[in-house]
Amino acid sequence: MRKSNPIRGLIRYSFYSSIGHIAIYGTLVVAFGIAFLAMGGIALFPAVAVTLFATLSLVSNAEEKSNWGKFQLTTPIKRSHVIISRYAIYLIFMMVGLIVAGIFTGFGRILAELGIVGYGEITGIAVQLLGESGLSQATFMFTISGIGAALIMCSLYYPLAYTIFKGKEEGLAFITTMLAFVISVFIAWIGLRLDLSFGGISLLIVVLPVVLLAISYMITTKVYEKVDV
């Protein structure tokens, strides 16, 4: 008989408790995708899709509202398992956003090649500046920026959710989203100031958020071990 995995069970619970929000956010992302296709904003959509699905993971966290946070610790579940599941479900939703973005971006690219939709002003400028590779590079940069911003959102949210904003998480997702974009722009600015190449800036936009995420996980784990839920 296979031993049950508590982390898998926690992730499954988080997913089931998010179904209502998944329907709302999924519809919203599809609507954005159609709008971006119609406007020719092919390169911009990945950043929107990734951050929206990442925000979904934070907004749909029903722990405090359902008192599950207190009940789950009466079961044979370690507090570290709870934190692992929180970060894991966040990354899962972020990957879903990437998949959706890839589908719409690929479809948009086909429509653009067929002349059905245009590239849009921002993407068009990138194509003019960078040549034929401009569309691919612009799409890649916006995708990387979305991933970086999403990782920063998670890095900020959970340490704050279990400390300063404990019990007041409703507006925290919005706050961390705004902060994440500010930090992402600052990181890109640092790359430009250091005169890094396109690849160097892209790497910086992802590597620093990954480091922040690792630090965030360690801090949140330590905090949650002591916090009175």
Structure confidence at residue 210 as a pLDDT band (50, 70, 90): very high
Q: How far is CA 202 from CA 8, 114, 141, in A?
A: 33, 29, 7
> Which of 53-57, 91-95, 157-161, 178-182 is least confident?
53-57
Structure confidence at residue 215 as a pLDDT band (50, 70, 90): very high
Is the pLDDT at 3 greater than 70? The verdict is no
Better pLDDT: 140 or 208: 208
Structure confidence at residue 62 as a pLDDT band (50, 70, 90): very low
Q: Which residue has the tokens 């031993």?
A: 3
Is the pLDDT at 222 greater than 80? The verdict is yes
Better pLDDT: 108 or 120: 108
pLDDT single digits (tens) 183-198: 888 888 888 888 887 7
- Residue 149 tokens, joined: 């911003």
Instruction: Kindly report the number of other CB atoms within 10 A of residue 39's CB atom.
Output: 14
Q: What pLDDT score was predicted for residue 152?
A: 93
Report the b/e string of 66-105 with b at 16+ CB within 10 A.
eebbeebeeeeeebebbbbbbbbbbeebbebbbebbeebb
Mean pLDDT of 64-85: 65
Structure confidence at residue 116 as a pLDDT band (50, 70, 90): low
Is the pLDDT at 94 greater than 70? The verdict is yes
Q: What pLDDT score was predicted for residue 13?
A: 76
Is the pLDDT at 4 greater than 70? The verdict is no
Q: What pLDDT score was predicted for residue 1?
A: 43
Instruction: Kindly report the number of other CB atoms within 10 A of residue 179's CB atom.
Output: 17
Structure confidence at residue 214 as a pLDDT band (50, 70, 90): very high
